[in-house]
Structure 1
Amino acid sequence: MNETLTTADGRPVLRIERRLGHPPEKVWRAVTEPEHLSQWYPFRATRLELRLGGKIRFDDGAGTTLDAIVTELDPQRLFAFSTRAPAEMTRESDDLIRFELRPDGTGCLLVFTHIFDDRYAAASYASGWQVCLDALEAVVDERPVEPSYPVASMHDAYVEKFGLDSGVYSDTVDGWVVRFERQLTQPADRVWALLARESGTEAGTGDPVPSAFTSDKVHAGAVTSVKEPELLEYAWESGGRTAGRVRWELKSGTGHGARLVLTQTGPGDLTAERHTALKAWKRRIARLAEDLRALPRA
């Protein structure tokens, strides 16, 4: 299987290629017929009009439905649709899901594409689709589909493969900002509990910063803001003065985990610290991800 993450028109494009030992016409039925599609797709297809512009409705079985429109259709070769979020969800634009079948000897090559907006969700999507395509392969092989879920190690391997573990920096009128955003594999309360347990102390405004919220290159001052399990902010110091702020935020993410957004600000006369921060926080967040992988699945 070959997975890549690229960009088209400013949107992330996840592409997965997988060779299947069956001809396109058999795989086509598994992809387009609701009774087969529902066996391996993340949602059950309750409606599927197989025509250009046809309507599709998916149901998660827990009260949430997802509508889609067929955008491309070439029987036995190409099937694509755009998904429309429920009214209570917000996102910039519809996701596009695309299946292309190419004859390959006695079997076929499946080229699966998912176009979306949230780049930092790519590892969640890739690991989730890997599990789904395993189930698709079982369906066309006429084997039982065993319940399965993406594991944390699979998710984090995609984080590294797609370069989602690297931070970025920007210059502002007040100095610079280093920023990391990473999808984690555990919910916010478990992440916070792990950080608190590692530190051995609780955090309150004005208190020393718990060690787990620091890196080996940051001289932490006092906690300036805390809201468990969502936020911790503190001052960092250089040369005996407050140089900027470090801010940990745990937000809602994709899959079953929290989204970590970590930022560090600094003044224009300490630009060397910017590069130090990028390296130090990458190491720190990688260790956090490793520790989260050791916890039971949420």
Structure 2
Amino acid sequence: MNMNPHDDSVTTTDGRTALRMERRLAHPPETVWAAITDPAALGHWFPSEVTVELTPGGKMGFHFPGDSGPGMTGTVTDVDKPRLFAFTWGTDHLSWSITPDGDGSLLTLVHTFGDRAGAASFASGWHLCISALSRLLDGNPVDAGPDAGELHESYAERFGLGRGTVETVDGGKRIRFERQLVRPAETVWAALSAGIEPVAGLPVPEGFTTDRAPAGPVTEVRAPTSLTYVWRSEGTVRWELREGTGHGARLFLTQTGPEDPENFDTDAALAAWQTRIERLAKGLLTA
């Protein structure tokens, strides 16, 4: 079975991101169809327990084992046995298409969602799920264990999710990064502070800085979720760690500065921060 993550892609249009994953399975379409529509089979490889009324407009329910809440709901949007099964899951849409491929099948998933920064989490999760589906169809043990982070990071690199943006704001420019990480906020904070807890009015620990943002004093700190400091007298740098996709903390980093490129070289700052964040993400794999 081809499970090369480099065959996968994401596209974003009008704020909605579509993740496309294509895999060859060594089983005919009818066999694959049963495995992706029968709740008993889904329970072995899909990320949640599923109930489904297998008809367009039918109701779906998603419930994670051990979760005492009501679970999530969805609606079947397409049923064309054994070629197409599609449904909503909350605000997301998932389309599973099956085409004959020699003596096997080509399974294509298109997952459409609103959180582009979460694309690596979704891709790594589906990668593992479809691998489990393949093993189930082959009659092999299904559980391969969770991703320790390496698969997530390979998708983040593949999809270019480490890039920042530059925005024009009142009085100047703002650099912004949003990056899903693979460890919780407490672990990320420990990696950034390296044992030197930030204190308002004191110098910033080196882990929160780059050479493109000469650091002034800390102005606000709420460990382990946020830190703000002045750089020179032109602007601020702010780190925030919020909830993400469930893989770890979501990092939001912003740097504000003057509009004058001689005093705020945004291209150089973008490159410096991307290098810093990628070094952090790589280091977290062993944390």
User: Under a length normalisation based on structure 2, what TM-score does the superposition of the two structures give?
Assistant: 0.94
Q: What does residue 50 of structure 1 align with?
A: 54
Listed one character per residue, the Cα deviations across residues 109-129 of structure 1 (whole Å, up to 9, x for unaligned) are 001110000000000000000
For residue 172 of structure 1, the aligned residue among 129, 145, 169 is 169
Q: What does residue 88 of structure 2 align with?
A: 82
Q: Contact 2:72/2:89 (CA < 8 Å) preserved in 1?
A: yes
Give the Cα separation in 1 of the matches to 2:198 and 2:167: 29
| Total equivalences in the alignment | 279
Task: Output the amino acid matched with 1:232.
Answer: L
Q: What does residue 252 of structure 1 align with?
A: 243
Q: What does residue 290 of structure 1 align with?
A: 282
Q: Quote the offset at 1:209 in angstroms.
A: 0.6
Gapped runs of 5+ residues in structure 1?
A: 85-93
Give the Cα separation in 2 of the matches to 1:196 and 1:8: 37
Q: Quote the offset at 1:211 in angstroms.
A: 0.6
Q: What does residue 112 of structure 2 align with?
A: 115
Q: What does residue 201 of structure 1 align with?
A: 196
Q: Quote the offset at 1:253 in angstroms.
A: 0.4
Give the Cα separation in 2 of the matches to 1:144 and 1:54: 32
Give the Cα separation in 2 of the matches to 1:136 and 1:5: 22
Give the Cα separation in 1 of the matches to 2:58 and 2:162: 39
Give the Cα separation in 1 of the matches to 2:106 and 2:236: 50
Q: What does residue 141 of structure 2 align with?
A: 144
Task: Output the amino acid matched with 2:268.
Answer: T
Q: What does residue 96 of structure 2 align with?
A: 99
- Tell me, what secondary structure is at the counterpart of 2:265? helix
Tell me: CA distance 1:8–1:221, structure 2 relative to 1, closer, same or farther (3 Å).
closer
- In the alignment, does 2:241 pair up with 1:235? no
Give the Cα separation in 2 of the matches to 1:140 and 1:284: 43
Give the Cα separation in 2 of the matches to 1:79 and 1:148: 27
Give the Cα separation in 2 of the matches to 1:201 and 1:7: 40
- In the alignment, does 2:36 pair up with 1:27? no
Give the Cα separation in 2 of the matches to 1:112 and 1:77: 12
- Tell me, what secondary structure is at the counterpart of 1:269? coil
Give the Cα separation in 1 of the matches to 2:13 and 2:26: 31
Q: What does residue 186 of structure 1 align with?
A: 183
Q: Quote the offset at 1:7 in angstroms.
A: 2.2
For residue 273 of structure 2, the aligned residue among 253, 267, 281 is 281
Q: What does residue 130 of structure 1 align with?
A: 127
Q: What does residue 264 of structure 1 align with?
A: 255
Q: Contact 2:12/2:116 (CA < 8 Å) preserved in 1?
A: no
Q: Quote the offset at 1:147 in angstroms.
A: 4.3
Task: Output the amino acid matched with 1:255.
Answer: G
Q: Quote the offset at 1:9 in angstroms.
A: 4.5
Tell me: CA distance 1:228–1:48, structure 2 relative to 1, closer, same or farther (3 Å).
same
* Percent identity between the two aligned chains: 47
Q: Quote the offset at 1:151 in angstroms.
A: 2.6
Listed one character per residue, the Cα deviations across residues 228-274 of structure 1 (whole Å, up to 9, x for unaligned) are 0010000001xxxx010000000000123000000000111235521
Q: Quote the offset at 1:276 in angstroms.
A: 1.4
Q: What does residue 88 of structure 1 align with?
A: none
Q: Quote the offset at 1:83 in angstroms.
A: 1.2
CA RMSD of aligned residues (A): 1.2
For residue 161 of structure 1, the aligned residue among 158, 161, 170 is 158
Give the Cα separation in 2 of the matches to 1:151 and 1:16: 21
- In the alignment, does 2:220 pair up with 1:225? yes
Q: Quote the offset at 1:58 in angstroms.
A: 1.6
TM superposition outliers: structure 1 runs of 4+ over 4 Å: none
Task: Output the amino acid matched with 2:284.
Answer: L
Give the Cα separation in 1 of the matches to 2:255 and 2:154: 26
Give the Cα separation in 2 of the matches to 1:100 and 1:274: 43
Q: What does residue 72 of structure 2 align with?
A: 66
Q: Quote the offset at 1:173 in angstroms.
A: 2.6
Q: Quote the offset at 1:155 in angstroms.
A: 0.6
Give the Cα separation in 1 of the matches to 2:181 and 2:196: 23
Q: Contact 2:239/2:254 (CA < 8 Å) preserved in 1?
A: yes
Task: Output the amino acid matched with 2:157.
Answer: E
